[in-house]
């Protein structure tokens, strides 16, 4: 079997991380607490210590969009995201990046109010886009990347690392 290792070094040549490249695990994550995928995809995939969550909609477990527009769908989508994160061994505080797809960018402030309830501090990086159409004519879709494991959140000061 082919084995390789990669060493990640800092500017001084000190080893920061070493990775043996003989086996990488790809684990499929499914939460029974949300709707089944509406197409040929997994709810999420864990690769090593990173959880990649497919876009979640504001649907109930019967795959019906919740009533109430963008705010209600955002709340349900974020609840669904939480369930998938938990099924994958992660949590909201470990999310490092979200991508928000919106049917109408005019609803951005309404969405932000709900989003801030789920990410009250140390928010993940985020991008938001208006798209022509979402599955099931949803108002919102959210995908995320999160860490799995013992996550420690620290403030990064670029000046202290020079």
Q: What confidence tens digit (pLDDT) does each residue in 31-80 have?
A: 999 999 988 999 999 999 999 999 999 999 999 999 999 999 999 999 99
Question: What is the structure's pLDDT at 134?
Answer: 96
Beta bridge partners of 17: 8
The reported pTM is 0.84
Q: Are strands 50-57 and 140-147 parallel, antiparallel or unpaired?
A: antiparallel
Give me 81's structure tokens: 């995201």
Give me 135's structure tokens: 């599955």
pLDDT reading at 144 higher than 80 = yes
3-state secondary structure of 8: strand
Report the distance separating Cα 37 and Cα 56, nearest Å: 9
Contact (CB, 8 A) for 34 and 66: no
Q: What values do phi and psi take at 130, rounded to 5?
A: -90, 135
Give me 103's structure tokens: 């049917």
Question: What is the structure's pLDDT at 2?
Answer: 42
pLDDT reading at 3 higher than 50 = no
User: Among the listed ranges 71-75, 85-89, 150-154, which one has the minimum average pLDDT value?
Assistant: 150-154
Residue pLDDT, tens place only, 4-27: 455 556 666 666 555 556 688 899
Residue pLDDT, tens place only, 72-81: 999 999 999 9
**Strands of 44-47's sheet in order across:** 26-29, 44-47, 50-57, 140-147, 95-102, 125-130
């Amino acid at each position: 079997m082919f084995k390789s290792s990669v060493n990640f070094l800092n500017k001084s040549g000190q080893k920061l991380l070493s990775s043996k490249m003989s086996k990488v695990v790809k684990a499929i994550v499914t939460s029974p607490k949300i709707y089944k995928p509406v197409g040929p995809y997994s709810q999420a995939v864990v690769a090593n210590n990173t959880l990649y969550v497919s876009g979640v909609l504001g649907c109930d477990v019967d795959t019906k969009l919740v009533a109430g527009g963008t705010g209600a769908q955002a709340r349900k989508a974020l609840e669904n995201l939480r369930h998938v994160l938990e099924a994958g061994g992660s949590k909201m505080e470990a999310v490092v990046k979200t991508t928000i797809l919106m049917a109408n960018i005019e609803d951005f402030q309404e969405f932000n109010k709900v989003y801030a309830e789920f990410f009250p501090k140390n928010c993940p990086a985020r991008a938001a886009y208006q798209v022509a159409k979402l599955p099931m004519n949803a108002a919102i879709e959210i995908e995320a990347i999160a860490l799995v494991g013992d996550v420690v959140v620290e403030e990064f000061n670029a000046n202290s690392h020079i």
